Amino acid sequence: MTDTIEIWTDGACSGNPGPGGWGALIRIDGVESELHGGEPATTNNRMELMAAIVALESQPKGSRVILHTDSQYVKDGLTKWIINWKRNGWKNAAKEPVKNKDLWIRLDIAAAEHKVDWRWVKGHSGHAENDRADALARLGCEENRTRR
């Protein structure tokens, strides 16, 4: 088994809500693979979450993963905020229900099956792997634009 799997994820939405897509570039032992998909009516944050979820769910349990995301919402949500959300019955600091609870639960489960190092990368900054994940997310968005 490989030492570490590297993943870059991104989400996109045409309108918010609107048709959306997600993409993931996965590198294992120098070999790259790509995943993408989307939904006809969704939000950008849901697509950012789905990119990370599907990428992690596609890896063997127990993998060491470096997951790069340009979404501070995803990174901070899973590494900082989720502890209090769970403690407070899935309510945020304003005592309102956490948005996208269904996906946060799914991401929490997927991440718990691996050893994940979450890293934020600035989006649209010329970072080749992040740009590829963005292109995959836009592809997923475009494919779902025609499914309305």
Catalogue the active-site residues: 10-11, 48, 70, 124, 134
- Classify 126 as helix, strand or coil: coil
Inter-residue contact 12 to 140 (CB < 8 Å):
yes
The number of residues making up the chain comes to 148
Give the residues across from 20 on adjacent strands. 13, 39
Number of Cβ within 10 Å of residue 146's Cβ equals 8
